[in-house]
Amino acid sequence: MRVFVDKYCEKSGTFKHPGEGVTESVVLGLAQNIDEIGRPLCPCRFYPDKTEEIKHRTWICACDDMQIYKYCH
């Protein structure tokens, strides 16, 4: 997951959160979501039903916010 995040930032001109602990939490959350549901669903949000949420793709990393604002919150 760390490689995915680093490569995405490199090719897209986006930035990770400046707080190392926050970035680590996001990376671990993304990895956990891949293990649980098979998709890198943004771990920064609450989802009543993660399986239903992945159908909308709004919060699949790189989520819409990251693509628009060029940084991970």
d(CA 59, CA 61): 6
Classified as helix, coil or strand, 41 is strand
CA 22 to chain centre: 12
Active-site entry in 9, 44, 63, 72: 44
Q: Which residue has the tokens 């680590």?
A: 24
Look up 42 and say whether it is catalytic.
Answer: no
Which tokens sit at 6?
Answer: 């680093």
Residues tagged active-site: 44
